[in-house]
Amino acid sequence: MDTRQWRDTIAAAQAGDRQALDDLVAGWLPLVYNIVGRALNGHADVDDVVQETMLRAVDNLGALRDPDSFRSWLVAIAMRQIRDRARRRTAPAPLAEAAASDAADFAELTVLRLQLEGQRREVAEAVRWLDDEDRQLLSLWWLEVAGELTRRELAAAAGISRQHAAVRVQRLKERVETARGIVRALDGACPDLRELTGRWNGRPDSVWRKRLARHIRGCGYCGDTREAVVPAERLLVGIALVPLPVGFTLSLAFGGKTAAAAAGAASVGWSAKAMAALTQPFVAVTAGATIVAGGAYVVTQAPDSPPPRVVASPTAASTARPPVKTSPSATPTPSPTPSPTPKKADLYGTVVDAVDRAPAPDARPAALPHRPESGITSTWGAKAVMQHRGETVTLSGRGYVLVRWQIAPQDRPGGLTMPTWTGLKGRLFHVASGGGRRMDDATGPDTTGMGGPDTGYTVLPDGTQQMWQNEYFYLDGSVDLTVNERGASYGLTVFPSSWEAADKDVNYGPPQGAIRYGLVRDNGKDTAPVPQYVTRERPADPATVPQRSRV
């Protein structure tokens, strides 16, 4: 964004033109949102910091002498608010931590909203593995490389010289590459890494960053990059800003800064005029957003919206989780009576409707039949990370799909409401289980992947098939997979996969450090297992799909 193109708008806003101020807020709010969102990686404080930044900019715009310096001035305000927030934080309260865990992950939001794949996705997800100070610098460097900031503006916003900025950016690049290696390794199938992460809760932190980086340096499998690694700065050139989430609200009267308060601060200043204009009852629509009476700025339609089947970007409302249910006996929403059984001619398989026994650790799997593959497309790209209730991925094509389970009883144990497959067109089979372990395999003396006595246990509905770390499915058609988290905390990571990857996974066993070999379920025929909780219907609430539905 070139400040020179905004010179007239800035001058008009300084003179008290409320339409110019509206345009200024609409035009520059996305830049501030991206800086704060990436620096805090979607922490619950993002909205507050953005609010305070824009409020201070509006309240002090009259003091800006050179309109051409507006961008660097605005970015510097944002960085001061980020640093002030860091200084105010002492030991985080449990409530604050809970709020943070429910906030929108900005790395995930970046991948989803910008449709990033491959190595660009790696760079976006690497942000999770950086320390706060590095994320703050990355929020500026990302925009510098993308053409939104200059190096001079980066240095000024960071409060350092250009020479010092060059040194810090170089160190940041090295840490980003280390973090990218961790993201890449976790996407792989290294059996030793699976064993190492058996007790990891799935939340990036400095301790696990060091452990994983040390493993990667000494591992031939994880260190064997099969494609040339493109430097992050080349991947980020020209990349767009992440659009504001639909429903994002910015109140320019935040914190009691009403027209009266502004007038009290200055007898006849621009601030009083602007705030008086903002608090008048009017509605002005610009750039997919609305400034309504009282100065509330609400995004009504985010620009560059993703295709309809992609889940809308998480917001404070959509990511809010239900009240904690700590009782393992808590039961999910009751399933309704199954719909009438289709005609026999419409049925193509059987339902996995019984709890099977875990195979012995040294029991090798049967051969995995190789079904025809032409490839699977996903509305979330190469990797769908779904961690909140209602998030859905649509899969289409002919080929294999990997669903990786992430159960977090330390976050919230209790009754688990299973994910469901809905809107099935064609055929869907449950072909194999892998990952080196079932979720109920031991991870310690008295703990499993489903929990332990200190945190509580995740409890499956009666008759539900026990999940493995990795579950493989074969799709010929299209289907939606939805997370229905309503009790125990869990997430799913969904990848378009291949027969080769599934076969390789299930044949890793104890000799490679896994708890057990995988399990092949596919017999290569239409009588192969059909997953539980699948339907051709599209219910209003996917959580109501019967366990033993027939397709």
Strand order in the sheet with 284-286: 249-251, 296-299, 289-292, 284-286
User: What's 363's DSSP letter?
Assistant: -
**Both tokens assigned to 309:** 């089947």
- 3-class secondary-structure state, position 375: strand
Residue 274 has pLDDT above 60, yes or no: no
Pick 348 or 397 by higher pLDDT: 397
Residue 275 has pLDDT above 50, yes or no: no
Q: Is the pTM of this model over 0.85?
A: no
**Both tokens assigned to 520:** 């092949």
Summarize the confidence of residues 320-336 as an average pLDDT: 36
In contact, 397 and 473? CB cutoff 8 Å: no
What is d(CA 437, CA 361) in angstroms, rounded to the nearest whole number?
9
The reported pLDDT for the residue numbered 79 is 93
The reported pLDDT for the residue numbered 226 is 56
- pLDDT confidence tier of residue 292, bands split at 50, 70 and 90: very low
In contact, 496 and 377? CB cutoff 8 Å: yes
In contact, 489 and 409? CB cutoff 8 Å: yes
Summarize the confidence of residues 211-222 as an average pLDDT: 87
Max mean pLDDT among 241-245, 262-266, 410-414, 434-438 falls in 434-438
In contact, 63 and 43? CB cutoff 8 Å: no
Summarize the confidence of residues 448-469 as an average pLDDT: 91
The reported pLDDT for the residue numbered 227 is 64
Q: pLDDT above 70 covers what percent of the chain?
A: 74
What is d(CA 250, CA 36) in angstroms, rounded to the nearest whole number?
14
Pick 1 or 333 by higher pLDDT: 1
Tell me how crowded residue 131 is: count the other CB atoms within 10 A of its CB. Answer: 11
Residue 366 has pLDDT above 80, yes or no: yes
Q: Number of H helices and number of E strands within the chain?
A: 16, 16
- CA-based Rg of the chain, rounded to a whole angstrom? 26
Which residues pair with residue 496 across a beta bridge?
Answer: 401
Distances (CA, A) of 321 to 55, 103, 131, 412, 542: 29, 10, 26, 11, 17
The dihedrals phi and psi of 345, each to the nearest 5 degrees, come to -65, -25
Residue 256 has pLDDT above 90, yes or no: no
